[in-house]
Amino acid sequence: MNREFFNSLACGVHASVIAAVLLVIPLSFQSCNDDDAALEVPQYELHRGTLSDISWSKSYTPREFENAFSTAIGGMDLNLLKSIGMDMGPMFGKIADGLLENQGDVLQELFDEEQGRKGAKWEMQAYSITFNSVGYKGEPIELSAIVAFPNAVNGTQFHVLDNISVYNHARVDENDRVPSKVGDIMLLRAFYNQLVVIPDEEGSGASIDHYFAETENDRNAQQTIDAIKAALELIGGMGIEMKEGYGTWNFGISLGGETCVGFHHYMELNATPEERRLVNLKATFGGAGVITPSMYFDLFDKGETVASLDMGLALNQLEGLLELPALAFGGYDPKTQLFSPELFERKSQKFPGVTLMESRRQMLGREFPQDAFQKIFQNDMLDSNGRFNHDSPKTQALFSYFKKCDLGCGWTPSVKFTLVWSDEDQMMLPYMHQQAYNNLRKLPGGGTNPLMKKHEVDLSFLGQLLASTSHHVLCAYYFLECVGNENPEDLGTY
């Protein structure tokens, strides 16, 4: 399927694709966890990435695709956007107005073109799987993912897949809506004859009783690799092959944007030779996540950001650190020496009888006083004004950890990388992304890196909106661009 085909259909295709595909629909410089002993599970490591089970599978014709998918994008109902009465621009106007019109016809064209090009009849095949991996504390864990690919029907011998598209999803705060249970819009990347792999984050899906440490970039990257291994094992058992020299497209937005950037960093700097051969990273297209956590928390320290939603996101990120070993923080135990009991209570007891994911979702809906961020640290880490005391060894250990987890500086990509953000998306700090782009495009010997691009999405037509609304609209644009362009890196600029 070529880019010209999508361009010829313009917004009408995008509208139909969006409405049709949502099955019902989110690197550190070194490993961020310095406790090597805690991360070593030698006997279990032999089984990393092996397929554990197939939870369910479905095949879809274009009409079945149309009937299976919701009209929501990333949890945002386009009809709601339309009812707000704002000028959403021509693309969103057409999506909102034609949401339920001619969906099957457009999808039929997509399928017919690809089937004609490949000379075989096929359907979209989706599998929800569980696979073996290692949790961020180093423990054996079973994770889940959804995998999709075009598959032959009627006994046709078919075929070899061209590439892999791996997507780390945006934040999902209801476990019955994670990709492994309901799918995701990014499954449409399979239309480009690709193996699509979308893992659930740790702490959701099959691992609902765990918690997700989003700053543990290397471990999260290894879990993504394990999902790819399991997907390759799945198709291998069906006699489906990857073409010789295949590569992997790396996608992610919002929470998944951070994981996506971390995956790229890990593949270039820390991956084993076997992992590099298995993945063969081709390009990255993602962002709009907390890619430089030290900057994010430094802003709170300076009192520059006190928005309630931002506060909730920051507290969420901190909650995932409570189980990390003390060695990750220079020997300080996070539960007893860095964070106050309030944070642990907020994580495990504030909403008794609900899952950690539900607790997180409820917490994001709360209002926070301006001093809530400071209250969750030990008193000896703060000064008389409630800000961080940077002379405190504990504070220094905490910020040292965050700086090791920063992805926006200290390295230069040697594989194509397009960083995505919008200046109107205040929830994910556009200046953090601009600074990261400026840092990563600098070559060590001077000059600029031609492999590093940016993709700034102009959402100025939205006017003054809640940060969360602008962020969701950015995610919607991102999905449109990922499924509407086989090589979305072409959208990037310097």
Residue 287 lies in a domain: yes
Last residue of a domain, one of 352, 378, 404: 404
- Residue 413 maps to a domain: no
Tell me: do 43 and 111 sit in the same domain.
yes
* DSSP character string of 321-365: TTTS-GGGGTT--IIIIIB-HHHHHHHHTSSTTS-HHHHHHHHHT
DSSP 225-265: HHHHHHHHHHHHTTT-EEPTT--EEEEEETHHHHHHHHHHH
pLDDT of 372 higher than 70: no
Q: Which of 357, 374, 404 is the last residue of a domain?
A: 404
pLDDT category at 218 given cuts 50, 70, 90 is: very high
pLDDT for res 12 = 33
Residue 365 has pLDDT above 60, yes or no: no
Same domain assignment for residues 190 and 148: yes
Q: Residue 117's pLDDT is what?
A: 61
CA distances from 152 to 69, 104, 122, 159, 184 (A): 22, 20, 4, 7, 22
410 within domain boundaries: no
| Integer angstrom CA distances of residue 433 from 26, 202, 304, 378, 407 | 18, 25, 17, 30, 10
| For residue 238, pLDDT beyond 80 | yes
Q: How confident is the model at residue 95 (pLDDT cuts 50, 70, 90)?
A: very low
pLDDT one-digit tens code per residue, 48-82? 999 999 999 988 765 565 555 544 444 444 444 44
Between 356-364 and 341-348, two packed helices, what is the crossing angle to 10 degrees?
110
- In contact, 354 and 345? CB cutoff 8 Å: no
pLDDT at 148: 93
Q: Are residues 41 and 117 in the same domain?
A: yes
- Of 17 and 67, the structure prediction assigns the larger pLDDT to 67
Q: Higher confidence at residue 144 or residue 324? A: 144
197 sits in which H/E element: strand 194-199
Domain end call among 346, 374, 404:
404
Mean per-residue pLDDT, 260-264: 97
Q: Work out the percent of the chain whose per-residue pLDDT is above 70.
A: 66
- Domain count within the chain: 2
- Locate 283 and state its tokens: 């390009």
Band (313; pLDDT cuts 50, 70, 90): low
Whether residue 128 is found in the same domain as residue 242: yes
CB-based burial label for 305 (10 Å; 0-12, 13-18, 19+):
middle
| pLDDT the model gives residue 82 | 44
Residue 79 or residue 294, greater confidence: 294
The region of weakest confidence among 104-108, 302-306, 337-341, 448-452 is 104-108
**What are the tens digits of pLDDT across the range 266-278?**
999 999 999 999 9
pLDDT of residue 341: 76
Report the mean per-residue pLDDT for the chain. 75
| Domain shared by 228 and 370, yes or no | no
Question: What share of the chain in percent tops pLDDT 90?
Answer: 36
Query: pLDDT tens-digit profile of 462-488?
Result: 766 665 677 877 887 788 788 778 888
452-456: strand order across its sheet? 51-60, 122-134, 140-152, 194-199, 163-168, 248-253, 281-287, 416-421, 452-456
Give yes or no: residues 118 and 243 share one domain.
Answer: yes
In a domain, 127, yes or no: yes
What is the predicted pLDDT for the residue at 278? Answer: 97
Show the domain range for 246.
3-292+420-491
Distance (Å, whole) CA 334 – CA 401: 12
Q: How far apart are CA 111 and CA 153, in angstroms?
A: 13
133-153: average pLDDT? 87
What integer pLDDT is reported at residue 441 of this predicted model? Answer: 96
DSSP reduced 3-state for 1:
coil
Which residues have CB under 8 Å from 343's CB, separation 6+?
Answer: 315, 318, 319, 322, 376
Chain centroid to CA 459? 21
Please calculate the CA angle 279-173-75 and round it to the nearest 5 degrees: 85
> Do 29 and 82 share a domain, yes or no?
yes
233 and 309 assigned to the same domain? no
Let me know whether 123 and 223 are in one domain.
yes
Residues 151 and 279 grouped into a single domain: yes
Residue 332's pLDDT band (cuts 50, 70, 90): very high
Strands 194-199 and 248-253: unpaired
Q: What pLDDT score was predicted for residue 379?
A: 86
- Which residues 6+ apart lie within 8 Å of 486 measured at CB? 1, 2, 3, 192
Per-residue confidence (pLDDT) for residue 63, from 0 to 100: 54
> Average pLDDT for residues 321-328, to the nearest whole number?
85
3-state helix, strand, coil in the chain (%, to 5): 45, 20, 35
Distances in Å between the Cα of 379 and the Cα atoms of 350, 386, 389 are 21, 9, 10
Query: Is the model more confident about 360 or about 94?
Result: 360
- Amino acid 225: pLDDT: 98
C-alpha closest to that of 66 among 96, 108, 26, 98: 108
SS3 150: strand
Mean pLDDT of 80-105: 41
What DSSP state is assigned to residue 42? H
In a domain, 415, yes or no: no
pLDDT of residue 438: 96
Residue 117 covered by a domain: yes
Confidence of residue 250 (pLDDT cuts 50, 70, 90): very high
Q: Average of pLDDT values for 396-420? A: 94
**Nearest by Cα to 149 from 120, 188, 199:** 188
**pLDDT top residue among 32 and 310:** 310
Q: What is the pLDDT of residue 43?
A: 44
Residue 147 covered by a domain: yes
**Residues 339-368: what's their mean pLDDT?**
54
Same domain, 247 and 313: no
Residues 113 and 59 in one domain: yes
More confident residue, 308 or 316: 316
Q: What is the pTM of this model?
A: 0.81
In a domain, 411, yes or no: no
Q: What is the CATH number of the domain that holds 111?
A: 3.40.50.1820
**Once rounded to an integer, what is the mean pLDDT over residues 301-311?**
56
Neighbours of 118 (CB within 10 A): 16
